[in-house]
Amino acid sequence: MARSFKIDAARTAVSTGGPRFWLLAIGAVLLLANCVALFLYIPPPGGSRADLLQQREQLRAEIAATRGTSARLRSVSGKVQQGSSEANVFESQYFLPERLAYSDVISELQRMAKAAGVDEREAVFTKEQIEGSDDLSVLNISARCQGPEPNLMRFLHEVDKSPMILMLATLQATPQQKSGQIDTEIRFQVIIQEQASLQAGVLE
């Protein structure tokens, strides 16, 4: 009976705002304040707002840098492809296939001599391999022709505008006893290219 009285007295003290009630209230307030302070002291799992903003700006900078690098790589790739395409076009237009080079050069020399009105004589061909290349060679053509000086100048003009790239290496002119005639020896060079089928045949 006495025990029941003590419990009832304690309940009465708490409920009526006694010292025990205020101690419990102060303890609860202190506990809540400590929880708030601990929450403010320990950063959240994803970082603070300032950290998140900094990470966002860093990610934006990395994305912008990656986009810039990608754009530069696309530009370089496009230029490489364009250069490769232009090189292939140049080779197909100006590098003569070896099996047709001799006849094509002779036909072009005859055409230019006829257009200039000079007497085209014999031509000597020699081939030299280009160092560092497996399929390209230089074809040297030593051609002799004879005619008046204006006609020889016209012949050189035909060489200059020829659709075939004829590189002028040397030119030697010797006046003849016959009036107005000049004997000229011209050495040309052209680039010739072996065809893949020919290379395959040599390898086999």
pLDDT at res. 162: 87
C-beta separation of 120 from 145 below 8 A: yes
The 8-class DSSP code of residue 147 comes to E
Q: How far is CA 52 from the centre of its chain?
A: 38
- Structure token digits, residue 96: 């003569």
Per-residue pLDDT of the chain (204 residues; tens, 9 = 90+): 444 444 455 455 445 556 777 777 777 777 777 776 666 556 655 566 677 778 888 888 888 888 888 888 888 888 888 777 776 776 666 778 888 888 888 899 999 999 999 998 888 999 888 888 888 888 999 999 999 989 999 999 998 888 888 888 899 988 877 677 888 999 989 888 876 544 444 444
Q: Please check whether residue 171 lies inside any domain of the structure.
A: yes
CA 133 to chain centre: 22
Do 12 and 80 fall within a single domain? no
Q: Return d(Cα 155, Cα 111) in angstroms, integer.
A: 10
Same domain as 138, residue 155:
yes
Residue 31 resides in a domain: no
Residues 64 and 112 grouped into a single domain: no
Contact criterion met (CB below 8 Å) for 161 and 147: no
Domain span at residue 141 reads: 96-203
Q: How far apart are CA 65 and CA 67, in angstroms?
A: 5
Residue in the structure block whose two tokens are 């009832």: 8
Say if residue 158 is in the same domain as residue 173: yes
